[in-house]
Each structure stands twice: as C-alpha cells, then as structure tokens.
Amino acid sequence: MDVFWRAPPVSRTLTAATLIESLLFWGRLITGKYIFFVPSKIFFQLPPQVWRLATCFFLTGRDLEFVFDLYNLWRYSSALESQSGRFSKPGDFFIYILFVSTVILLTAGFYMGYGSFLPALIMALVWTFAQDKRGTRVRFFVIDIPVIYLPAAMLCITMVRGGWPSMLLECTGILGAHLYDFLTRLYPTFGGGRNFIFTPLFVQRFFWKHTPNAGYRGYGTAYHAPQPSASSAPQSRTSGTDAGETWGSWGSGRRLG
C-alpha cells in the first residue's frame, strides 16, 4: 500500500477507480445501465444521475484489453503527472484531465453517441506524452519507434482490432489533448494570446496538502529528502573568523617573479 500512496494522486485515483469498476462490471456485479453515458439520464431526469459523467471513463475492455488498458492508463498518466514540466503547479494535471474529458464528452458523447470513453482518455494521455518526449524513442511491442509516432501506431492497432468506430472514439481524445496544448502553450507562446485555462487556487491548495513530500517548481516536481538531525550535521573545521586569523598568522607573503 505504501507504493500506492506514494504514487501521483490523480493517476492512482484514476487507475484504482478503473480497476474497481471494471472488475465489478466484467464480474457481472453491476450492469452498464448504471455507468454508461446517457444524456437523458443526466440532464432530463430527476434526480439526475450525475455519477455517469465520471463512471463512463472508468470501464476497460475485457480479457487482454483489461490488462493493457490499465497498464497504459497508469503508465502515461503517472509519467505526465510526476515527470512532465507541462504540469508545474499542484492540480495542473487534474485540470488537464477535466478539460480533456469535457471535450471527449461533447464530441464522442453528445455528437457521436458513444457511452464509454476510457480509450479516448488513454489516447489523450499518449498524445500529450508523445509531445513532451518529442525527439526520443519508445518501445512499441518489439520495435523501437520515434515517440512522436506512438499515437498513430496505437490508432492503427485499434483500427485493425476494432474498426473505424473504435478509432474515431480515440481520435476525440487526441482532439481534446491537442486543444489543451494549443490553448495553454501554442497560442499564448506563439500567438501572443492569453491562457484561459488555469488551475484555481483552492485546487492548488488541495493537491499541495494531499501530495506528501512534494514541492512544485516552474520546471516540474521536486520531492524533498528528509532533513538531517542536528547531531548528524557535518561540523566545519574552521569558522570564518578562525580562517581569517589562521591566514593572517602565516606572514605577509612574497611576490613571485
């Protein structure tokens, strides 16, 4: 459990929620009528089933897809949350997830009529990961490819395995991730515009409080080492005054040359 609690907070919560919901669903302990995205159940019913806005992102595929979905979700979310300089302040990654999920709901949910969106969210994480690691290589099954081609390679696998509908669902994740990158980095940096996506102060305070031994800098996250005790602190051989007195006792010196 110590490993779990040391993990980045958003990544561990996403992975744990996905694991629990998927086990319950594929174990036939809950049915899809309680977790899929159905707009009429959320916006046109009293009381509204607002939990569907979250549960529709926590369902994996079955069999091997169950393992691969959990692995990819954990791998890319934890890498972005803990190592990416893009999310420099506490809560930045949480706001990223909210923004990307909203775009996926609007496109894949309302417009295309899909009911479950975990593949799209994973593809958004992969696309952002590839942008952050641009110029490096990554292992894709048994071959090494430039990381920038990783989303395209995964889309090809999805196309072969699930056809056009599955690939279009994942493309909505790329759309959300690219839109976030454009609004927070490309447009403010190169277009001179304003960044309208920011992390509220109360969100920063919450994540600062619930991320132990972590400090946030402008270029990433730093974890503080335990402070040494007073008895173990190294003692200086000479203080500044002693050093000056020792230097002065050596004489006036001689010029060379």
Q: What is the chain's mean pLDDT, rounded?
A: 83
> pLDDT tens across 101-140, in order?
999 999 999 999 999 999 999 999 999 999 999 999 998 8
Helix residue ranges, H only, the chain: 2-6, 9-26, 39-43, 52-55, 64-83, 92-104, 118-132, 150-162, 164-181, 187-190, 201-209, 240-248
> pLDDT tens across 64-111, in order?
999 999 999 999 999 999 876 788 888 999 999 999 999 999 999 999
For residue 251, is pLDDT > 70?
no
For residue 5, is pLDDT > 80?
no
Using a 10 angstrom Cβ sphere, with 0-12 exposed, 13-18 middle and 19 or more buried, the burial of residue 133 is: middle
CB 99 within 8 A of CB 172: no
> Any residues with CB less than 8 A from the CB of 138 and at least 6 apart, and which?
144, 145, 146, 147, 150
Residue closest to 74 by CA, chosen among 134, 157, 14, 21: 14
* Amino acid letter, residue 46: L
| Rounded-to-integer distance, Cα 151 and Cα 175, Å | 12
Q: Kindly list the domain boundaries of the chain, sorted by start residue.
A: 61-211
> Cα dihedral sign for 103, 108, 113, 117?
negative
pLDDT value of residue 83: 73
- Name the pTM for this structure: 0.80
DSSP state of 90: T
> pLDDT tens across 36-48, in order?
999 999 998 888 9
Query: Which helix H or strand E contains 32, and what residues bound it?
Result: none
Q: Residue 253: which region, alpha, beta or left (left: phi > 0; alpha: psi -120 to 50)? A: left
User: What are the b/e assignments for 64-86, b being 16+ CB within 10 Å?
Assistant: eebeebbebbbbbbbbbbbebeb
pLDDT value of residue 3: 72
Q: Which two tokens stand for residue 202?
A: 């109360």
